[in-house]
Amino acid sequence: MLILLAPMEGLLDAPLRDILTRAGGVDRCVSEFIRVTDTVLPERAFRRVMPELGNAGRTQAGVPVRGQLLGSDPERLAANAARLAEMGSPGVDLNFGCPAKVVNRHGGGAALLQDPEHVHRIVRAVRQAVPAGTVVSAKMRLGFDDDRHAEDNARAIEAAGASELVVHGRTKAHGYRPPAYWARIAQVREAVRIPVVANGEIWSVADARRCLSESGCSALMLGRGMVADPGLALAIRAELGAPPCPGDAGRTWADWDALQPLVHRYWRLIQGRAEPRHQAGRLKQWLNFLRRRHPQAELAYQGVRTLNDPRLVTTWLNQHVNAGPACPDNHA
């Protein structure tokens, strides 16, 4: 059993990676995408998206983070992949799945899946540009408007030298509407020899069990499901008999009391990274997800919902959310 934490632009950023890898059960993360256009980015641009580069490519909990690049130009992506590898990223991931209109309009993300040959050129250029010991992986959807090129894209990615493929079980046209087509992932997996990771609509242990069965995969990537339930990866491991990650023994996040210190830590991390006008919004976004799994989070969400001044948010949290002892660094 391998459990990865998904890259999700505007949601699963470095502060939330810190929090969710502290919660445990995660083997590896992928960063939000680093957008590549017509130049080699300066180091600060990589570190802005992936500050873990300053910690040997790991979160403070010790979980590796693989940097993800998004773009459409093979040469520019290759040059930036080389820079990312030099900076110590534990691998380079390529984005063939982003459904955002602005990204697709410029030929990036899921739009690339309309041309498997171009997908092959991108992966091959990146593979040739980074050291042999640097892992190159990719994340794709089943397709753009439809899934007719799914196997072709997977084969193109494999033939170009990638060593792992994550498949989100929906097309760009599906967006994030349920269901995710896990059985279709199985057909893609059968078309290649490299490991395939299943992704999409895994909100519970029951979902994970069905996804593994229908996809035939032995690895999962969790996104919104773990944002809503930070204990999901641990629960999946426990229920499905997978060995825990180092340092995870005895951890549980089944109740709101245990999670409250992580809310405080997340707020402190957000204050250190986001502009003041955006800080409250980021906290509200996470609390909105948490209340799907933890009804008690509803009180916190409603308590800060109308607050935008960070000072008022801090005051409210200090009065109503138990700061307690957060789990320590380097537990993994």
**Helix H segments across 42-164?**
43-49, 74-86, 101-105, 116-129, 150-159
Q: Are 139 and 95 in contact (CB under 8 A)?
A: yes
Active site residue 327: no
Q: What is the distance between the alpha carbons of residues 113 and 125, in angstroms, rounded to a whole number?
A: 17
Q: Which residue type, as a one-letter code, is found at position 243?
A: P
126 vs 80: CA distance, rounded Å? 9
Q: How many CB atoms lie within 10 A of CB 163?
A: 15
CB 77 within 8 A of CB 108: no
HEC assignment per residue over 226-238: HHHCCCHHHHHHH
Active-site hit among 98, 211, 217, 245: 98
Quick one: which of 73, 87, 96 has its CA closest to 130? 87
Q: Do 61 and 22 form a contact (C-beta atoms < 8 A)?
A: yes
Q: How far is it, in rounded angstroms, from Cα 261 to Cα 138?
A: 34
Catalytic positions are 98
